[in-house]
Amino acid sequence: MAFSASTRHLLRRHLSTTTATTTSAIPESTISTVRHLARKGEVSRINSILSPLVTASPPPSDTTLASVLFLYSSSGMLTEALDAFSAHPSPSTSALNALIAPLNRHSRDLSKKIPSLFTSLPASKSIEPDRNTYGILIKSLCISGGGAEKALPVLKEMEEKNIPANVVVYTTIIDSFYKEGKPQRAEEVWKEMCGKGIVPDLTTYNVKAMYKSKHGKLEDLVGLISEIEAANLKPDVITYNYLINAYCANGKFDEAMSVFKGLVEKGCLPNYATYKHFISFLCKKGKFDDAREVFDDGLKRGTVPDLGTVKLLVKGLMKEDKNRAAKRVVTGMKHKFPKEFVGNWKQLEKLVGLSEEEESGSD
């Protein structure tokens, strides 16, 4: 699943509490091994590591069980996670949360299973969902289960059960309404949140900034950043990325460059998204010298965009007969990231006609 920066941050927040409380029972080396095997799809080897932890006698502690469930689900091994959960005589709500939380991040297909698991698993073990459980359910409904409207009854259920929603839960729903192109509904939920005394945090503001950068007026986004600062919050690189993109989309490249050059002074380091989108905007406008300046800054900091964006820059420089500059982009990449400069990245050398002799002589 592909998510925006603000949505990815929301997902991390949904996982953060669960992660902090569920992986401490297993050595970090084991966690690293499982994650490595998961990337390779070696589920049998993962099972050989985790299964003994839950089949031992006496039954594992709740913390160990939660750790195993979290790793199983993070690896996409839902069947094994469910078997381990069912086999334990008295799993806790924390174990339940550890099982279902990673499904939202793993894939849309697994995320869609959360509503039925939310109903069946607590009933099977006589455990009560808590605020984190409801938050995980709401996230599932928002990203894969019919949208924010279907999440609102869950919010009401929480209220009826005296389970107070928090800013993360409300931000999830607001984010979903904005992504569905329903800003008025998003604002209604925002007002409801504030009316309950829940103060929006930076992530909540960034969700609104994302929408305004794409669909709102530039002055509204600038005003929103002033509002963030007035709330004694500090805009981060995500906020400023949205501002840079909005300036570019409105043809205000000087202002975008000014924001970019002021990031470090504001305590924000440009990230991958900063370089990818800003360089792309500049290249598409034919501002290849500026794009190279931004690229060079990223190279210095060890962060460069994807191959397609770099190729756009290189082709643009060559089109303007700036072959030497184009070659420096390529040699700079190769010298900074020699291990990563393989496969399709090697196409750049052919693109600029770079021979080994020329490369060695360019130092």
The rounded distance, in Å, linking the Cα atoms of 271 and 221 is: 20
Phi-psi region of 321 (alpha: psi -120 to 50; beta: other; left: phi over 0): left
Nearest Cα residue to 70 out of 95, 107, 87: 95
CA distances from 76 to 35, 42, 85, 98, 349 (A): 11, 11, 15, 13, 39
The rounded distance, in Å, linking the Cα atoms of 286 and 303 is: 22
Read off the pLDDT of residues 304-318 as tens digits, 9 standing for 90 and up: 999 999 999 999 999
Residue 357 has pLDDT above 60, yes or no: no
Read off the pLDDT of residues 6-19 as tens digits, 9 standing for 90 and up: 555 554 555 555 55
Helix locations, 88-217, DSSP H: 93-100, 103-106, 108-111, 114-125, 131-144, 148-160, 167-179, 183-195, 202-215
Instruction: Say what the pTM is.
Output: 0.86
CA angle 9, 12, 13 (to 5 degrees): 90
Q: Which CATH class is domain 1-198?
A: mainly alpha
Q: In percent, how much of the chain has pLDDT > 70?
A: 90
**Contact (CB, 8 A) for 291 and 316:** yes
pLDDT of residue 145: 63
The rounded distance, in Å, linking the Cα atoms of 67 and 113 is: 20
Read off the pLDDT of residues 180-190 as tens digits, 9 standing for 90 and up: 999 999 999 99
Domain positions in the chain: 1-198, 201-261, 270-363
pLDDT bucket at 361, cuts 50 / 70 / 90: very low
CA distances from 209 to 178, 212, 218, 235, 278 (A): 10, 5, 10, 10, 17
Read off the pLDDT of residues 130-149 as tens digits, 9 standing for 90 and up: 999 999 999 999 988 678 99
Read off the pLDDT of residues 2-52 as tens digits, 9 standing for 90 and up: 445 555 555 455 555 555 455 557 899 999 999 999 999 999 999 999 999
